Structure 1
Amino acid sequence: MNDLALERRTGLPEHLRVLAELYPRETWQGHPNFSGLTAFWLERHLMFRQLMARLIEGSERHLDQTDPRFAAEMSQYTGLFLNQLHGHHMIEDQHYFPQFIPLDSRLEQGFEILDRDHHALDGHIHALADRSNEVLKLMAAGEDEKRAVDLLAATQRDFSGFLLRHLEDEEEIIVPVVLEYGADLE
């Protein structure tokens, strides 16, 4: 896996999965070092997955048959999703990653990848916000927004793929570090 860019990565290289192999996902919650804060962090990731799925479903439903609630719901959920995701990444970049990097030098490249992911996702966040705003402007002006919603749905699906890849890889680095070293997401 020479190319580890978020848009092309299909998973973490084996040398960065060293702790993930020791701590498979299905054993995480039963581990003594798995805390409420770690569970909360994973719940935030689940929320991002659910919000992204809701946005895609809303756009696809609106394309199938015009949904009078679409603009309000899309605006509300997109704003919530993007603001929460941005804030979440800031906390990880400024607090969690610096706390965990020194714990295991074998994973340093993994944290570099996660940091690059956050920068890549920032660009995708802006693209999703721009597409969403374009649709809202067309709808507010009473113009036909179907083509714009179709492009929005494609942008949402692309974003979802990038986000899901990032969240899975991030979880396979962070949670095993927490379990191995007793570190916490404090």
Structure 2
Amino acid sequence: MDTALDLETRTGLPEHLRVLARKYPRAAWQGHANFNDLTAFWLERHLMFRKVLDKLVSDAQHQLDEAQPRFGAELSRYTGFFLNQLHGHHMIEDHEYFPKFQNFDKRLLRAFEVLDADHHALDRHMKELADGTNAVLRALQEGKGSHDGVGRLLQVQEGFRGFLDRHLMDEEEIIVPIILEYGDEID
């Protein structure tokens, strides 16, 4: 894949993939006649992923400042929830929505290849997040100091947050404008 489109280095979608995003700017989405409940729900899921990851980062930062008695339980609960929900969300997108939506506008076929590559990249980051979380949880369970492990986990969480936000922003700028443009044709 073109390195300019790689999730690890991309700062946004190139202009040729923003053809509908230019026509339908984010500020006008909710007022559009084709903006429906399913689209609102999908965007709310994206917001939820951002909020849960923000909580994980904040909790790790607080743990580094001062040991929090519920840190391990909260880390396990929220990371498990986040990873399970994100995996399920991506499965639905990959198998249901993206195959259907990519047929509406051939100018955006490359954008769907980018989103697919993003999902594969995010799978690797999800594994890294799971591994880092499990290492910290093992250290806490064994009663070992976990300051260094939490510091490493925080770096993983912060990196993941950046990659996830880039992906979600770009995905939203591809999918929502398609819904707005072709809403009458989408089942």
- Match in the other structure for 1:113: 114
**Alignment-derived partner of residue 166 in structure 1:** 167
Q: Deviations over 1:40-92 (max 9, x none)?
A: 00000000000000000000000001101100001000000000000000000
CA distance in 1: counterparts of 2:81 and 2:185, whole angstroms: 26
Checking the alignment, whether the CA contact within 8 Å between 1:38 and 1:185 is kept in structure 2 is no
- Show the counterpart of 1:40: 41
Instruction: Let me know the Cα RMSD of the aligned residues.
Output: 1.3
Q: Secondary structure of 1:102's partner?
A: coil
Distance 1:59 1:138, change over 3 A: same
Matched AA of 2:170 = D
| 1:88-103 mapped onto 2 (5 Å cutoff) | 88-103=89-104
One-letter amino acid of the counterpart of residue 96, structure 2: H
- Distance in 2 (alpha carbons) for counterparts of 1:184 and 1:124: 35
Residue 74 of structure 2 is aligned to residue 73 of structure 1: yes
Distance 1:2 1:183, change over 3 A: farther
What is residue 138 of structure 2 aligned with on the other side? 137
Q: Structure 1 183/78 Cα, relative in aligned 2: closer, same or farther at 3 Å? A: farther
Q: CA deviation at 1:3?
A: 2.1
Contact 2:57/2:154, CA 8 A, preserved across alignment: yes
Q: TM-score, normalised by structure 1?
A: 0.97
User: What is the distance in 1 between the residues matched to 2:74 and 2:165?
Assistant: 22
State the identity as a percent: 59
Deviation of residue 183 (structure 1)? 6.0
**Counterpart position of 2:150:** 149
Gaps of 5+ in 2: none
Give the length in aligned residue pairs.
186
Cα distance in 2, alignment partners of residues 79 and 16 from structure 1: 34
CA distance in 2, matches of 1:37, 1:71: 35
Where does residue 53 of structure 2 map in the other structure? Answer: 52
The TM-score with structure 2 as length reference comes to 0.97
